[in-house]
Amino acid sequence: MAVWFAQKRKRKRAGPKIGYTMPSPFASSQNSEPGGVNNSRSWFTYEELVRATDGFSEHNLLGEGGFGCVYKGILTDGREVAVKQLKIGGGQGEREFRAEVEIISRVHHRHLVSLVGYCISEHQRLLVYDYVPNNTLHYHLHGRGRPVMEWAVRVKVAAGAARGIAYLHEDCHPRIIHRDIKSSNILLDSNFEARVSDFGLAKLALDSNTHVTTRVMGTFGYMAPEYATSGKLTEKSDVYSFGVVLLELITGRKPVDDSQPLGDESLVEWARPLLAEAIEHQEFEELVDPRLEKNYVAHEMFRMIEAAAACVRHSAAKRPRMSQVVRALDSLDESSDLTNGMKPGQSEVFDSAQQSAQIRMFQRLAFGSQEYSSSFFNHSQSSWRSQEDGSQGSWRSRDYANQSSWSREHRERSTLMP
Residues annotated catalytic, as ranges? 180
Nearest to 206 by CA among 68, 362, 92: 92
Q: Are 398 and 314 in contact (CB under 8 A)?
A: yes
Give the residue numbers of the binding site for ATP.
84
- Distance, in Å, from the CA atom of 141 to the CA atom of 130, rounded to the nearest integer, reads 23
Task: Tell me the DSSP string of 98-139.
Answer: HHHHHHHHT---TTBPPEEEEEE-SS-EEEEEE--TT-BHHH
- Distance, in Å, from the CA atom of 393 to the CA atom of 376, rounded to the nearest integer, reads 21
- Distance, in Å, from the CA atom of 240 to the CA atom of 246, rounded to the nearest integer, reads 10
Determine phi and psi for 61, rounding to 5 degrees: -70, 120
Checking phi first, is residue 263 left (phi over 0); if not, alpha (psi -120 to 50) or beta? left
Give the residue numbers of the binding site.
84
- Distance, in Å, from the CA atom of 180 to the CA atom of 134, rounded to the nearest integer, reads 20
Alpha-carbon 14 to chain mean position: 50
- Distance, in Å, from the CA atom of 199 to the CA atom of 112, rounded to the nearest integer, reads 9
Determine phi and psi for 314, rounding to 5 degrees: -70, -35
